[in-house]
Structure formats: structure tokens, C-alpha cells
Amino acid sequence: MTTVRHFRQVVLWPLQLMPVRPGVPVQRHWRVLEERGLGNPWRELRDELNAESGEIRERYYKEFVTFLPYVQRFIYGSVAGQESRGGERSMHVFRREDVSRVRVTFDDGVTLTFEIEEVALYFFLDADVAILAVELWGNDLPLDRAQDMVFRFGRAYPAWWTATGEGGNSARLVEWLDAGGAVLAVSDYEKKPNYLTHVAKYRTPNLAAHWQFLLKPLGLEYPGQSAALRYRQLEHYRMPIMVYLALDDPTELSRSDFVRLGLLTRPAPRGSLPYSERSLASFEAEFCDDRFWEREGEHFSGDARLICTGVLLAVVGRHGDLFFDGRETGMLGQFKHQYFLLFLIAHFHKAALLSMSDELAVAMNRLEVGDTESVREFKRTIRQSMEMFLRFTHRYWFHEISNQDLARAIFARLSRHLGTDALYDEVRSEVADMNEYLDTDSVRRQAQTILRLTVVTVFGLIGTVVTGFLGMNLLAEANEPFLWRAFLFVLILVSTGGVTLYTVVKSKVLADFLDALSDERVSWKNKWRVLKRPQRT
């Protein structure tokens, strides 16, 4: 039996945040959590680099120098240069420390307890997205149990139920425990009526109770939700996963083990593939980075393989090997820091783009062309979305994240498998279409205004020429009493204003009449008929 000496798993859960202050262009959702009220377990991490702790300074230093300068400023902020003068950090991290362990009961009744390394919540400036990260670990697990943990843990809700009423493909029971072993929250995958009723009532999936507990005081969005900070699901119900497996001899793993790990399928007898051999012919080339696998020479350490499928990033290597197992400079330290940030940024890119695309779709669905207020609100929303997309592009959208070859290769694989480049182009196209609509509508309105002014000018020119030809003293009223002159002034003002307003109202019909007058092919009879046509809308 193959044993995993050290098992580590990280789940990321991208969420879309609802506006805290509707209509405000830039939402700062984390400020709700900064209010340390009763029942709020989250505390902001002010210094990710932990400058005061000499024990982990080298580890964080290696993490910091992995990234290019503009990525460093995005992740850690800046205390020098132009960004430090009135600038705001792009990323805010909150942690909760009340959850110390997680107890998982599998479908065969076996129960295992894992240590919780970290529970963190990431917010991003100018993006309506938060990402929950949960890191857990355990030692000396059978390989099939580790595979089952990867397969079942990190599901927001069950997609189906077994004949016995248990959630399909999910753990039988998940329990969050505090440091003393007391149960803080339990899953409710087996409560099928709750999930069915929620979908029928709100047209949105319900989320498992233990995941909702972990996010409190954030509340799941549905009609009647009173939480100040609300969220809703953004992607698939299976959360993106990072996995670290340290074994005595990683070469004991068969090809089927790697395939099942990489494609997140359930464990099965050794040697059996989850899909056909032909469909998996390019698995290694497409998903595996084998630069540290099967190296020749005595000076090399043990084998290590990286698997990246977008939704999963896994590293497999030899336990006890300093190159792989070192917490400071080995791959374990990189897994917890550099690789985690690569994984986080790639999934943030996708989540932010999905959120912006969703906002555009919602704005379009709310548009009622005949309603002036709806059109005005649509234009305001679209312009805010355009501004947000531009800020996202210049603040967060980058392809080159590191000059280190391995980090660059991992990020490139993540972006490719997640399809973020295609998604970015799609959102940019949507924004461009919306912008084109706004520009076209603006030009149309300007053309209509110019048309009205032209018609008024043409018909007003007649009166101007006539009065100018006859002279200003056609009616010699200068010596008449003041009240009579005032009466004449008001009468002429009202008459002139009425004629002008009538000309503006009938400007489209009058414009058609002028077009007909200028067309020599139209008879005089038909030219006068133009005035009798209904006004175009």
C-alpha cells in the first residue's frame, strides 16, 4: 500500500460580491469586515511579509523576489515611489483563527481529522470579487484516501444524491473544529429538501451549511438577505484545488494515479484509467511539467512532478528530500507561497472577468428601450463598467508574472487551461460593443438636435429677412404708453416663442418637407402631402 507521508490541500473559492453602496463606482467591501463587531471572526492581515518575524523572513523573501516589480506592488503594496503617495493597496487579506481542524467522514464511514493551516479571505480593490482560501494538511494517509479527499472536499453543494440520501461525490460529513475539538459547524449535504426548495424559491443553488458558516458575517445573496456584505456563486460548485503529496517513492505512482489526480476523478483500482487511452494520449504533454522527473545523475535529488489542469495545481515528490520537502527553500515552501499566489492570481483574473461579464449582462437585461429612466440608468452602468474594465486592465491584467522559468511556466499553463485570454477578449468585445452603442446613440441624438436647430433656423430665417427688409420701425410704437408697449412686447414674445416651439415639435415633419422641396423628382402635389404624414418616432 502506497502511503502519502505528508498531504496538503488548498481550496480556493472565488465569489461575486454584491454592491455595498449601489451606484458607487468603486466598492470597498472589506471595510464592512474592518468593523470588529460581535460575531465577526475576521481580522485583517496588515503585513503579509511578517517583517517582525525572523523565523519566516527568508521564506517570504523568496516569495517576494519571485515576482516582477509590478506584481510585487499588486500583492504587497508599496511604501516608496509614486504609489505610496495617496495610493491604495490593491489586495486586502483577512484571516480567522477560530477554526483549527476539519473532521471529514467519507462514504465508507472512515473518519479523518486534518489540521487547518489557514483560513483567509482575499479582497481586491475595484473588483467585485472575494476569494476564500482554506489550507489543511495531514500525515501518513493511504494514497487512495488522499485521492478521495481531493475528489470530495471543496464542493459548495451536492450535484445529486445517492439512494441512501447522501450527497453525491461529496463527503458524508464535514465538521469544523476549534482548538479544543468542539464542533463549530457541520455540513448538511444530506438535507436534500433544503437544496431543492432553495432552487425552486430563489432560482439559485443553496450552499452547504459549513461553507456558509466559514464566510460569516458574509451572507449568501437571496431575496430577504439582511447581511451587509452579500455574495453569490460565480463559478462551478467544485472549488479550484491545490495538492501537495510527499511519498517515500513517487515513482510508485502509476500513470492512472497521476491521471486521476490531475483530472480530479474518484479513486479506483491501480492501473485503471478513468477515460479511454486515446483520449488521454496527450495528458503528460498538456498537463504535466516533468523538468524534475526522471532526471539522470547522482547530484540530482528525487523525482518531482507538477500537474496543472487549471482547476487543479498538484506537486508530487519524495518525502525527506530537502529539494522537495524543505519548508524554507524547498518545493513545499514554494507550494505554500509562490505557487499559491500564482494560483490565486490566475483564478482572480477569471473571477473578475466573469463578474464584469455578468454585470454587463444584467445591465442589458434591465434595459427598456422605451423607458427614458431605464436608458439613462443603462448608460450610467455601462460607462461605469467601461471604467472598471480599463482599471482592471491597467492594474491587474498581466501575462508576464515572473522572470523565473518555472513560475512563468506554471502561470502560463494556468492561464491557458482557465481560458482567461479568450475570456478577456470576450469581455473586451462586449465592452467595445456597449461603447459603440453609446457612441452611436450620442451621435444620433446630436444629429437630431442639429436637425431641429436647422429646421428652426430655416423657418426663422423667413421672419428675420422680412423684418430686416422692412426695418425695425414697421410699427411706430415708441411714443405709445408704457403699458401698451409692454403688452405688445409680451404678445410678440409669446407668439414668437409659440411658433418656435411648434417648429421644434414638428421639426421631423418639416425636415421631410424640406427634403421633398429639394427633390425635383417629387411633384408639387406630393411635396405638400408630406406635411400631412404622421410624425416619425
pLDDT digits (tens, 9 = 90+) for 112-139: 999 999 999 999 988 889 999 999 999 9
Which residues have CB under 8 Å from 274's CB, separation 6+? Answer: 256, 259, 260, 263, 265, 268
Which residues have CB under 8 Å from 112's CB, separation 6+? Answer: 103, 104, 106, 138, 141, 145, 149
304-308 and 241-247 strand pairing? unpaired
The secondary structure of 230-271 as a DSSP string is EEEE-S-SBPPEEEEEEES-GGGS-HHHHHHHHTT----STT
Would the pLDDT of 415 be above 90? yes
Question: Is residue 480 one of the residues assigned to a domain?
Answer: yes
Least confident of 72-81, 408-417, 520-529: 520-529
| Tens digits of residue pLDDT in 494-516 | 777 777 777 766 666 766 666 66
Angle at 8 between CA 76 and CA 52, to 5 degrees: 35
Question: Is residue 462 one of the residues assigned to a domain?
Answer: yes
| Tens digits of residue pLDDT in 85-118 | 456 788 999 999 999 999 999 988 999 999 999 9
Would the pLDDT of 299 be above 60? no
Cβ neighbourhood burial of 240 (10 Å; 0-12, 13-18, 19+): buried
| Tens digits of residue pLDDT in 257-292 | 999 999 999 888 888 899 999 999 999 999 999 988
Question: Is residue 385 one of the residues assigned to a domain?
Answer: no
Question: Is residue 196 one of the residues assigned to a domain?
Answer: no
| Tens digits of residue pLDDT in 438-494 | 777 667 666 666 766 676 676 666 666 556 544 555 566 667 787 877 777 777 777
| pLDDT at position 424 | 93
| pLDDT at position 114 | 97
| pLDDT at position 97 | 92
Would the pLDDT of 81 be above 80? no
Q: Which three three-digit cell numbers place residue 448?
A: 437630431
Cβ neighbourhood burial of 171 (10 Å; 0-12, 13-18, 19+): buried
Cβ neighbourhood burial of 301 (10 Å; 0-12, 13-18, 19+): middle
| pLDDT at position 37 | 66
| pLDDT at position 350 | 95
Give the CA distances from residue 509 to residues 448, 456, 502, in Å, rounded to whole numbers and listed in that order.
12, 12, 11
Residue where the block lists cell 467522514: 105
Label residue 47 by pLDDT band (50, 70, 90). Answer: low
| CB contact at 8 A, 16 and 231 | yes
Domain that holds residue 482: 449-532
Which residues have CB under 8 Å from 53's CB, separation 6+? Answer: none
Label residue 343 by pLDDT band (50, 70, 90). Answer: very high
Question: Is residue 486 one of the residues assigned to a domain?
Answer: yes
| CB contact at 8 A, 261 and 150 | yes
Question: Is residue 519 one of the residues assigned to a domain?
Answer: yes
Question: Is residue 463 one of the residues assigned to a domain?
Answer: yes
- 327 or 443: which leads in pLDDT: 327
| pLDDT at position 51 | 54
Q: Structurally, how many domains does the chain consist of?
A: 1
Question: Is residue 384 one of the residues assigned to a domain?
Answer: no
pTM of the model: 0.82
Angle at 15 between CA 12 and CA 21, to 5 degrees: 145
| CB contact at 8 A, 213 and 223 | no
Cβ neighbourhood burial of 358 (10 Å; 0-12, 13-18, 19+): middle
Q: In a 3-state reduction of DSSP, which class is residue 120?
A: strand
